[in-house]
C-alpha cells in the first residue's frame, strides 16, 4: 500500500491532507524515524513525542514565512521530514549529511540554529520585536520542552516577554521528562496544572469555545480574551504564566492533531505573548522508548524488534568518574555532587542511589549549578560538578566571579572534552582548555588514562582550591600505560626520553603522542614524550629543559589552537 508520506514533499502537501490522512502520516513518520535512528543513532524518544505536534504546527502556520525555533533542536527530525528532507534522513548525523539539530545552512525552514538548551524564547522574542519594528507580519513560535524550561535563560526570557505586548507564541512541550525525570519547582507546578480537576473543566470550556470558532469569528476571540482570563483567575489563582503576562492555553493532548490545530488557530488570532501547554508522551508509538524514554533520549544503533543496543559500550571516563567518586564520598562525608540534568550521562547514577542526600539535580541550569557549588564550598562542603565541556561554556562568569576570585574549593569535572562526534559543532568540547586557562586561581588537569584520572580526582577533592579535570567521551586509548607517578602540583610526567624532538601532550592525546613517537622511532627519530598532566600550573622546568635539549617541540591537544597547551609557553 502507498504511504501517505510518499506524497509529502513539503508543507504545502501536508496542508492538503484531512485529519485521518494526517494520522496515517504520523505513523509513517514514526516508522521512518525509528528506522533512521536504529541505523544512525540519534534522539529517538523526543522526536517520537512531537510527531503530531509538528504536523499540527506545519498545518496551521506558514513556514518559512512564520518562524519556528526549536529549543535544543534535538526534536527537529519530524520538522526536517516535513520540510523537504525526508529523502536525506538516511544521512542524518553523518559527515556531509543532514544535521541532528536545526541548521539554517541546510534549509530556509530552519530559522535558527540550536543545540544548547533554553535559548528559544529569547531568540523568538528578539525576532518578534524586530518584526514589529520592521512592520513585518508573521508569526514567531518557540517550541520548548519542560526540561529546557528549567534553564535560567528560558525563565529570563519568559520574564521579559511577559511584560511586553509583542505577539509571540511559546509552545511548551510537557512530557514530564528532561533526559531523565524532570525536576524542580516549575516541574512540580506543571504537574499540578496537568492533574487539577478545575483545569480539566477549564480545558473543557476552552474546547467548547474553540469548537464554536468557525461560526463565532472575532466575537469568539474577544470572548476568549476577556472571559477566559477572568474565569481562569477565579479557578486557578496562582496561574504562574498568566500572572507574569502570558495568555495561557491548555493543557492539551499533544497527540490529538485536531485539537492541536484548533488551539494553534486560536493562538494565531490572539495578541500578546501566548503560552500553549501541550502534554505529550516521550517515545510515543515505540514501546521500548515509551518504557525507557531516558535510555532512548539519545540512542546509538539498535535492534528495532528488541530495542537492544547494537553498539558495545566499553567502560568510559564517565563510569570511572562515578565509581571513583562513590569510593571517595564513602570516606569523605563532605563530598557532594551536582548535576545539571545529566545524572546518567555524567556517571552519577550510582552516586545518586548511594547518597541521595548528597546528590543534587538542579535541572538544565549549569550557571546555577556552579553558583550553588560556590555556596556549598563556602560552607565547608566539597562540591564536585561534572558537566559536559560544551555546556561549561555557560558558566564562565560563575567560574570566575563566584568560584575562582574567591578561591573556593569546587571540583569542576569537564566531561566530553575534545571532539565528541555526530552531534555537530554545538556539542564539541574544544574551547575549555582555552577559556579555563585564562581564569585566576585555577588548577587545570587532564588525565592520560583511567588510573591517572582516579588519582587526579582524589588529588582534586583534597585540594580545597578551584580545580578543573577535563576528560574525553568514551574510553582509554590503545596504549597501556604502566607508570602512574603520584600527582604533584604542576608536575608533568616524562614518558619517554629522546634527543631529536620534544612532544608535549595532555589528556586523551597523550596516547596519540606515544603512538606517533613509536612511528617516529621506527624512522630513526627519537622523540622525548612529556605528559603535561597540568595545564595550569604548567611544568615549565621539565618542558623547557627538554626543548633546550632537542631544539624542536610539537604540542598535541584536543582543543582549539588559540589558548590551551600550545599557548602556555
Ligand X SMILES: Cc1ncc(C[n+]2csc(CCOP(=O)(O)OP(=O)(O)O)c2C)c(N)n1
Determine, following the binding rule CB under 6 A, whether residue 228 of this chain makes contact with ligand X. no
User: Would residue 181 show up in a list of annotated catalytic residues for this protein?
Assistant: no
CB 100 within 8 A of CB 297: no
The interface with ligand X within residues 340-359 (CB under 6 A) comprises 341-342
Query: Least distance in Å: CB of 175 to ligand X?
Result: 5
Query: What is the spatial distance between Cα 246 and Cα 273, in angstroms, rounded to a whole number?
Result: 5
Using the rule CB under 6 A, which residue among 75, 76, 428, 517 binds ligand X?
Answer: 75
Nearer to ligand X, 372 or 391 (CB): 391
Q: Does 296 bind ligand X (CB under 6 A)?
A: no
CB 302 within 8 A of CB 195: no
Residues 260 and 33: their CA atoms lie apart, in Å, by: 22
Which residue in this structure is represented by grid cell 507546578?
189
Single out the catalytic residue among 22, 80, 85, 282.
Answer: 282
The nearer residue to ligand X, 300 or 526, going by C-beta atoms, is 300
Buried/exposed code over 35-47 (b: 16+ C-beta within 10 A; e: otherwise): ebbbbbbbbbbbb
- CB of residue 226 to ligand X, shortest distance in Å: 33
CB of 188 to ligand X, least distance (A): 15
What minimum distance in Å lies between the beta carbon of 397 and ligand X? 15
HEC per residue, 75-131: CCHHHHHHHHHHHHHHHCCCCCCCCCCCCCCCCCCCCCCCCCCCCHHHHHHHHHHHH
Establish whether 366 is a catalytic residue.
Answer: yes
Q: Report whether 142 contacts 123 (CB < 8 A).
A: yes
250: left (phi over 0), alpha (psi -120 to 50) or beta: left
362 lies in the binding site for ligand X (CB under 6 A): no
Q: Is 158 in the site for ligand X (CB under 6 A)?
A: no
CB of 365 to ligand X, least distance (A): 9
The answer to whether 246 contacts ligand X (rule: CB under 6 A) is no
Beta partners for residue 452, in sequence order: none
Q: Which residues contact 28 (CB under 8 A, 6 or more apart)?
A: 3, 4, 5
Active-site residue (options: 52, 261, 366, 454): 366
The window from 141-149, 193-201, 252-260, 465-473 that contacts ligand X (CB under 6 A) reads 141-149
Strand partners, 336: 383
Q: Is 208 exposed, middle or buried (CB count within 10 Å of its CB: 0-12, 13-18, 19+)?
A: exposed
Rg (the chain; Cα; Å):
26
Q: Is 220 in the site for ligand X (CB under 6 A)?
A: no
**Mask of contacts with ligand X, 247-286, x by CB under 6 A?**
-----------------------------------x----
DSSP 301: S
Considering the complex, state which of residue 107 and residue 175 has its C-beta at the smaller distance from ligand X: 175
59, 83, 175, 443: which one binds ligand X (CB under 6 A) = 175
In the region spanning residues 15 to 54, those forming contacts with ligand X, defined by CB under 6 A, are 46, 49
Q: Is 391 in the site for ligand X (CB under 6 A)?
A: yes
Of 186, 125, 116, 117, residue with least CA distance to 157 = 125
Interface pick for ligand X out of 51, 143, 157, 177 (rule CB under 6 A): 177
Q: Does 148 bind ligand X (CB under 6 A)?
A: yes
> Per CB under 6 A, does 179 bind ligand X?
yes
Q: Does 69 bind ligand X (CB under 6 A)?
A: no
117 interacts with ligand X by CB under 6 A? yes
Site for ligand X contains 481 (CB under 6 A): no
Burial category of 547 from C-beta neighbours within 10 Å (exposed 0-12, middle 13-18, buried 19 and up): middle
Per the listing, cell 610539537 goes with 554
Q: How far is the CB of 116 from ligand X (least distance, A)?
A: 4
The total of other beta-carbon atoms located within 10 Å of residue 219's CB is: 10
Q: Is 394 a catalytic residue?
A: yes
Task: Mark the segment that binds ligand X (CB under 6 A) among 68-76, 284-292, 512-520, 541-549.
Answer: 68-76
Of 428, 417, 447, nearest in space to 507 by CA: 447
- Catalytic residue list: 282, 366, 394
Under the rule (CB under 6 A), what is the footprint of ligand X? Answer: 46, 49, 72, 74-75, 116-117, 145-148, 173, 175, 177-179, 282, 297, 341-342, 364, 366, 391, 394
Amino acid at each position: 500500500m502507498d504511504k501517505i508520506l510518499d506524497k509529502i514533499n513539503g508543507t504545502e502537501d501536508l496542508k492538503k491532507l484531512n485529519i485521518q490522512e494526517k494520522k496515517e502520516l504520523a505513523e509513517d513518520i514514526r516508522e521512518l524515524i525509528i528506522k533512521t535512528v536504529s541505523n544512525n543513532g540519534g534522539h529517538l524518544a523526543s522526536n517520537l513525542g512531537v510527531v503530531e505536534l509538528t504536523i499540527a504546527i506545519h498545518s496551521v502556520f506558514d513556514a518559512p514565512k512564520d518562524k519556528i525555533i526549536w529549543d535544543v533542536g534535538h526534536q527537529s527530525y519530524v520538522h526536517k521530514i516535513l520540510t523537504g528532507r525526508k529523502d536525506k534522513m538516511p544521512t542524518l548525523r553523518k559527515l556531509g549529511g543532514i544535521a541532528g539539530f536545526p541548521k539554517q545552512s541546510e534549509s530556509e525552514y530552519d530559522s535558527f540554529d540550536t543545540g544548547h538548551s533554553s535559548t528559544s524564547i529569547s531568540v523568538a522574542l528578539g525576532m518578534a520585536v524586530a518584526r514589529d519594528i520592521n512592520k513585518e507580519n508573521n508569526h514567531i513560535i518557540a517550541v520548548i520542552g519542560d526540561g529546557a524550561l528549567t534553564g535560567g535563560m528560558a525563565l529570563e526570557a519568559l520574564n521579559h516577554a511577559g511584560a511586553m505586548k509583542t505577539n509571540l507564541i511559546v509552545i511548551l512541550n510537557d512530557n514530564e521528562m528532561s533526559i531523565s525525570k524532570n525536576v524542580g519547582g516549575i516541574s512540580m507546578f506543571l504537574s499540578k496544572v496537568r492533574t487539577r480537576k478545575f483545569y480539566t473543566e477549564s480545558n473543557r470550556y476552552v474546547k467548547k469555545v474553540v469548537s464554536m470558532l468557525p461560526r463565532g469569528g472575532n466575537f469568539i476571540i474577544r470572548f476568549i480574551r476577556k472571559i477566559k482570563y477572568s474565569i481562569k483567575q477565579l479557578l486557578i489563582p496562582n496561574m504562574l504564566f498568566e500572572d507574569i503576562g502570558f495568555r495561557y492555553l491548555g493543557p492539551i493532548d499533544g497527540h490529538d492533531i485536531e485539537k492541536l490545530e484548533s488551539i494553534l488557530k486560536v493562538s494565531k488570532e490572539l495578541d500578546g505573548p501566548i503560552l500553549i501547554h501541550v502534554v505529550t508522551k516521550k517515545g510515543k508509538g515505540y514501546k521500548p522508548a515509551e518504557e525507557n524514554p531516558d535510555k532512548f533520549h539519545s540512542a546509538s544503533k539498535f535492534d528495532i524488534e528488541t530495542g537492544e543496543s547494537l553498539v558495545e559500550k566499553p567502560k568510559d571516563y564517565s563510569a570511572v568518574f562515578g565509581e571513583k567518586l562513590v569510593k571517595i564520598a564513602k570516606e569523605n562525608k563532605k563530598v557532594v555532587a551536582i548535576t545539571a540534568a545529566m545524572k546518567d550521562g555524567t556517571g552519577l547514577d550510582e552516586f545518586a542511589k548511594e547518597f541521595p542526600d548528597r546528590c543534587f539535580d538542579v535541572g538544565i541550569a549549569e550557571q546555577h549549578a556552579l553558583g550553588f557549588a560556590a555556596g556549598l564550598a563556602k560552607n565547608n562542603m566539597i562540591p564536585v560538578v561534572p558537566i559536559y565541556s560544551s555546556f561549561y561554556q555557560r558558566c564562565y562568569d560563575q567560574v570566575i566571579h563566584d568560584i575562582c576570585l574567591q578561591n573556593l574549593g569546587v571540583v569542576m569535572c569537564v566531561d566530553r572534552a575534545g571532539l565528541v562526534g555526530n552531534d555537530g559543532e554545538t556539542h564539541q568540547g574544544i574551547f575549555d582548555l582555552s577559556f579555563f586557562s585564562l581564569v585566576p586561581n585555577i588548577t587545570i588537569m587532564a588525565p592520560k588514562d583511567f588510573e591517572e584520572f582516579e588519582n587526579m580526582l582524589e588529588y582534586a577533592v583534597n585540594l580545597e582550591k578551584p580545580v578543573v579535570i577535563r576528560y574525553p567521551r568514551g574510553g582509554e586509548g590503545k596504549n597501556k600505560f604502566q607508570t602512574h607517578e603520584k600527582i604533584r602540583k604542576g608536575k608533568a610526567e616524562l614518558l619517554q626520553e629522546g634527543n631529536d624532538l620534544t612532544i608535549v601532550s595532555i589528556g586523551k592525546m597523550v596516547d596519540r603522542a606515544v603512538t606517533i613517537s613509536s612511528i617516529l622511532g621506527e624512522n630513526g627519530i627519537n622523540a622525548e614524550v612529556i605528559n603535561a598532566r597540568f595545564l595550569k600550573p604548567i611544568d615549565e622546568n621539565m618542558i623547557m629543559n627538554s626543548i633546550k635539549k632537542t631544539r624542536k617541540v610539537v604540542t598535541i591537544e584536543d582543543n582549539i589552537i588559540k589558548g590551551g597547551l600550545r599557548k602556555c609557553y
